[in-house]
Amino acid sequence: MLSNKKGLTYADAGVDIDAGNKAVELMKDSVKATYRPEVLGDLGGFGGLFSLMNSNIKKPILVSGTDGVGTKLRLAIMMNKHDTVGQDCVAMSINDVLVQGAEPLFFLDYIAVGKLDPVQVATIVKGVAHACEESGCALLGGETAEMAGFYAKDDYDLAGFGVGIVDRDKVITGETIGAGDVLIGLPSTGVHSNGFSLVRKIVFERQKMQLDQYVDELGMTIGECLLTPTRLYPRPCLPLIRNFDIKGMVHITGGGFYENIPRVLPKGIGVEIDVTTWPQLPIFGLLQKWGDVAKEEMYRTFNMGIGMILIVKADDVDAIMANLSERGEKAYIIGKTVQSDVRVTLKGGAFDD
């Protein structure tokens, strides 16, 4: 006797292959717009192909970095706004590659979803592609995983992997940094992608705010401010790396000033930073006030308005600042290196109380 039971399909288990194919079609043009001449093949292969045959670098070194967006995604999900987090994903890896002196070459993304919405995924990837194009790197491939029963229906995670190239003789390590060098800070666009567990505790638990709540000091809603994407630093920094002796670079991410700056300092060298030398973005003052957060904790958690630091010879400062100014880039002389076993000393403002 024949059974009338219908056989189960992958779709019955919560995975829609057709939706995945539609998402790929929706993102194809965005991805192709990022391709450099070195990209071989087309989107959809099992692996991305990238040729180094035309590189003029004598001793090529590949530099890689990987990271995710973290709990900032919760805000994007709550606001149903997914067009900015792709830039966060790219910036977190590409900025880390950059600080080694490397030119970004290509990037791959990974998106895991509870229920695949082709339009949502394509929107995320368009943000990734736009950031790759802005950084001069190709979006070489990626993966979208529909994980029914693992993530909630509207939840997703986003991470990525970037690769850059640098001549072995020009890798920026920080080993030549000595006392008397100067720190130049490049401004951030906001909170970037670190410290959001504390941000959410302050905004939602302490202040009981809604993301659509307008904040006069910010000139926008708190949600709009917090979702401002992480700044991409290749455009302002690559010309400096190519034309000047950049001794060290620091991407201010999780750990803020106190944890990130020592990563490039030789033994016996510390930095003294005057926190009054750049304009503080209003969001940081508000978070500190709303959460009653100690000033040291703020600088240990957030970028506080400086997303990238260059450590350079004092003799090069004027030329570097002029170069940045000519290209319309804001920069601030924020401190100096000193002979000291204390790695980071912050001065000025509240630190002089």
pLDDT in tens, 278-293: 999 999 999 999 999 9
Asked if pLDDT for residue 301 goes beyond 80, the answer is: yes
Average pLDDT over the chain, rounded to an integer: 94
Give the whole-angstrom CA distance, residue 155 versus residue 59.
44
List phi, psi (to 5°) of 313.
Answer: -65, 145
Give the integer Cα–Cα distance in Å for 303 and 284.
9
> What are the pLDDT digits (tens) for 21-60?
777 777 788 889 999 999 998 776 788 899 998 778 899 9
Q: What's the DSSP call for residue 132?
A: H
Q: Quick one: fold of 11-170?
A: 60s Ribosomal Protein L30; Chain: A; (3.30.1330)
pLDDT digits (tens, 9 = 90+) for 135-181: 999 999 999 999 999 999 889 999 999 999 999 999 999 999 999 99
Nearest alpha carbon to residue 181 among 317, 325, 342? 317
Stretch (H or E) spanning 243? helix 234-243
320-333 per-position pLDDT tens digit: 999 999 999 999 99
pLDDT score for 27: 78
> So what's the pLDDT on residue 337?
98
CA distance 260 to 311: 13
Q: How does residue 219 score in pLDDT terms, banded at 50, 70 and 90?
A: very high
- Taking only Cα atoms into account, the Rg of the chain, rounded to an integer number of angstroms, comes to 22
* Dihedral sign computed on CA atoms, order 246, 252, 255, 256: positive
Task: State the Cα torsion 182-184-185-186 to the nearest 10°.
Answer: -160
What residues does CATH 3.90.650.10 cover in the chain?
182-352
Per-residue pLDDT reduced to its tens digit, 97-116: 999 999 999 999 999 999 99
- Across 65-79, b (16+ Cβ under 10 Å) vs e yields bebbbbebbebbebb
Q: Which amino acid is at 86?
A: G
Q: Which of 218, 353, 203, 205 is nearest to 280 (CA)?
A: 218
For domain 182-352, give its CATH number from 3.30.420.40, 3.40.50.920, 3.10.100.10, 3.90.650.10: 3.90.650.10
Percent of the chain with pLDDT over 70: 96
Does residue 1 carry a pLDDT above 60?
Answer: no
CB count in 10 Å sphere of residue 30:
20
Please state, in angstroms and rounded to a whole number, the distance separating the CA atoms of residues 219 and 348. Answer: 27
What share of the chain in percent tops pLDDT 90? 84
Q: What pLDDT does residue 3 have? A: 56
